[in-house]
Amino acid sequence: MNDLVMRNLSYGLFVCTARDGEKDNGCIINTVTQVASTPNRISIAVNKANYTHDMILKTRKFNVSILSEAAQFSTFQHFGFQSGRDVDKMAGIEFSRSENGIVYITNGCNGFISGDVYDAIDVGSHTLFLADVADGDVFDKTASATYAYYFANIKPKPQPAPEKKKGWVCTICGYIYEGEELPADFICPLCKHPASDFKPL
Ligand code: FE
């Protein structure tokens, strides 16, 4: 099995948001797919380590804001590389609310979709949420950002290290693990990706 083939799949990028009581939160996901047109339904897969995951499981509602090629790396850092358990991710962020009361992001996004969850399937590291499309809008005509576009144009290129250190770097977010051996079950503390997404420094 050549695990690299998984990277040849193409994905979009999205800010997935939820609201539980007065608490707003969001995370970055790359797994939003329309799965039926009649009725209009989408699926999203959300990593169980994300606080947003628990909020959707509880409230059965979410929004996805579709990141465009105008998105800044800071948006990925803000929603992807810190946890809503520790910070208020909406502080200092421009946002609007849809009819379901949940935040959506306009800055660097070209539209949003609201989902009402009708089934949640435990698929391992992630939960697959199946949802009816309840609402949505288009903000502008900027092309949607693909995962490949993010790596080629949005994520800053790694700076050459001044001194050679022993360790592993997360190819998704740039987190550095120092040490000879990366534990096989290691999970990136920033972006929650597994050890297979790390490469030696
Ligand atoms: Fe990472």
At residue 157, the pLDDT reads: 84
Binning pLDDT at 50, 70 and 90, where does residue 165 land? Answer: confident
Q: What whole-number percentage of the chain has pLDDT above 70?
A: 98
Nearest by Cα to 50 from 70, 73, 31, 74: 31
Which residues lie closer than 8 Å to 129 by C-beta, 6 or more apart?
Answer: 43, 44, 45, 46, 56, 62, 115, 117, 119, 120
Distance 98 CA to ligand 1 centre (A): 30
Distance 37 CA to ligand 1 centre (A): 34
* Average pLDDT of the chain to the nearest whole number: 94
pLDDT at 161 over 80: no
Which residues lie closer than 8 Å to 36 by C-beta, 6 or more apart?
Answer: none
Dihedral (Cα; 16, 150, 158, 6), 10-degree rounding: 90
In DSSP terms, 199 is beta-bridged to: 169
Distance 136 CA to ligand 1 centre (A): 30
At residue 84, the pLDDT reads: 85
User: Whose structure tokens read 């790694």?
Assistant: 158
- Residue 103 · residue 96 · CB < 8 Å: yes
pLDDT at 181 over 70: yes
Phi then psi for 189, rounded to 5 degrees? -65, -20
At residue 85, the pLDDT reads: 85
Mean pLDDT of the 190-198 span: 93
At residue 30, the pLDDT reads: 96
pLDDT at 179 over 80: yes
Distance 80 CA to ligand 1 centre (A): 9
pLDDT at 7 over 90: no
Mean pLDDT of the 124-138 span: 98
Cα–Cα distance for residue pair 163/49, rounded to 1 Å: 33
Residue 173 gets the label, from left (phi > 0), alpha (psi -120 to 50) or beta, of alpha
Distance 54 CA to ligand 1 centre (A): 20
The predicted-structure confidence for 79-95, as pLDDT tens digits, reads as follows: 988 888 888 989 888 89
At residue 109, the pLDDT reads: 97
Determine whether 128 is exposed, middle or buried from the number of CB atoms within 10 Å of its CB (0-12, 13-18, 19+): middle
At residue 160, the pLDDT reads: 72
Distance 183 CA to ligand 1 centre (A): 15
Distance 197 CA to ligand 1 centre (A): 8
Distance 76 CA to ligand 1 centre (A): 11
Mean pLDDT of the 7-13 span: 94
Cα–Cα distance for residue pair 182/167, rounded to 1 Å: 8
pLDDT at 162 over 70: no
Distance 190 CA to ligand 1 centre (A): 5
